[in-house]
Amino acid sequence: MTERAEQYTVRKRVSITRRVFSNVFWLVLSEVTSKSLIFLGTVYLARELGKAGFGLFSLSLAVGIYFWVVSDAGVTGYGVREVARRKEQANELYNTLNSLRLVLSVILLLAFFIVLHLTDTPPEKRLILLAGAFYAVAYSVSSDWVFRGMEKMQYIFAGRITASLGFLGGIYLVVKGPSDTVEASFIYSVSVLAGSLTFLFILWRKEGIPFVFRISFRDWGRHLRESFYFAINGIFNNLSLFIPVFFMGFLSSDEELGIFSAPHRLATMIISGGVLVIIALYPTLSSLYVTDMEKFRKLHREFERLIIGIAMPVCIIATVFSRDIVVLLFGEPYIDSAGIFNILIWLVFLLIIRRSIGTSLISAGFHRFNMFATGGGAAVVIVLSTVLIPGYGGYGAAAALTGGEIFILILMSELFRRKVYHSGFLLSFAKVFLMGAVMVALFIILPFPRVVNAMIGLSVYAVLAFYTGILNKKTFGALMSG
């Protein structure tokens, strides 16, 4: 009887491991593939629309994101948790919450339509902004969060690929010059709608759950009370990252906005890739915090050192070759974006570190403190944007983002130290900073071509990283174990 019980336990453990691996695999595959295709489309638009047209397109994306985080009302995070806990009620949750999101997004779109018509916004810009706002309506009916809660990540891949291929194919066929900015904005939102409808169809065919519009003010109110912290966190995170785009849309010219938007899109793409690893580690940290605090500390400490150690040389190399990277991707007209990218690449460094700390803070159950830190950072970004953008344009916007992120990182690190444990973050950061300084010094001193200097500097950095313990076999072993 004991032997059978042990065999059952082993089979169950293997089953859970395979399930987790499958979920992570499909989630990473769908995110990386879809966002890579969308980024290729963004690069194409930057070249075809020109700086002014691309600036307006980026402004429409920022409008769509702001409308989305409000109309989502925290459903994406809250809904996943509730479906995971109560899979038998997935049908009711799906119809109730998606109906709520649809109503909110339509109300916001209509209100925005009225506001634009009451102002002296030029007709073309009005259509571009409305196209961006329609993104919230298009995404509101998506059932991707239901698949996450049901751990059916392979279906997410299908919906994301449909949307990204639709966007890439649509702009390639339609967008041929700066006069097609309105079309580009609508194609983006319509491609998202195509992905959402794909999700709806798959959920109906594979799981037998159709979408039925349902109005229930009592249920909506009950769910909104539960999803409040998820909603506020989402709003603050997006405010701190995208508010300068919105400010530049009204305080700067369209060309200045385009010069800023190109490196900003590239930076957000890099951030998305780095955050995927953090998202994959989140469930393990959540579990270990409850079951084994010592292992939680060990895994977090090793992961923190690893992510700082890897991010530093990547950002240094990107800074050295920033001009080449920007011209290669966006073309010669965006050469002025290289200096802005030099600032934003360090925003990537700060934000990835902050997200790793924030995710660990949330995994320990301190959602409110994470919200306070991101909210404070968003306020700093807003203040700095109003002060710096009028005089310094894209450089001011990049500086505002970086200043806000530094504030969040300092505050969040202190909250983590007080509420969870002392991780020794500052010591690891100091080591990485000194190793980075050595790498930069080699770039400056060595008389060889930049590529050769980069290879030598990276090699020396790697040796120092292993010697100081920032990177080692135990680090990779702990991560693989997690």
Residue 116 CB partners (closer than 8 Å, separation 6+):
126, 129, 130
Give the helix/strand (H/E) hosting 89: none
In a domain, 16, yes or no: yes
- Give the max Cα distance, the chain: 79
- What six digits make up the tokens of 61? 């994306």
In a domain, 413, yes or no: no
In a domain, 470, yes or no: no
In a domain, 441, yes or no: no
CA distance 190 to 184: 10
Within a 10 A sphere around the Cβ of 473, how many other Cβ atoms? Answer: 8
CB 349 within 8 A of CB 401: no
pLDDT tens for the chain, 482 residues: list them.
455 544 434 444 444 445 555 666 776 777 778 888 888 898 899 989 998 899 999 889 888 888 888 888 887 777 777 777 777 788 888 888 889 999 999 999 999 999 988 888 888 889 999 999 999 999 988 888 888 777 777 788 888 888 999 999 999 999 988 889 999 999 999 999 999 999 899 889 888 888 888 888 888 888 888 777 777 777 777 777 888 888 888 788 888 988 998 899 888 888 877 776 676 666 566 667 767 788 778 777 877 888 888 889 989 999 999 999 999 888 888 998 999 999 999 998 898 888 888 877 777 777 777 778 888 888 999 999 999 999 888 999 999 999 999 999 898 888 888 888 777 778 888 888 999 999 999 988 988 888 898 899 999 998 888 888 877 666 555 444 54
Within a 10 A sphere around the Cβ of 131, how many other Cβ atoms? Answer: 24
Output DSSP code: residue 179. G
In a domain, 313, yes or no: no
In a domain, 356, yes or no: no
In a domain, 176, yes or no: yes
- What six digits make up the tokens of 199? 């999700």
In a domain, 479, yes or no: no
Domain with 99 in it: 1-226
CA angle (279, 282, 287) in 5-degree steps = 160
Number of folded domains in the chain?
1
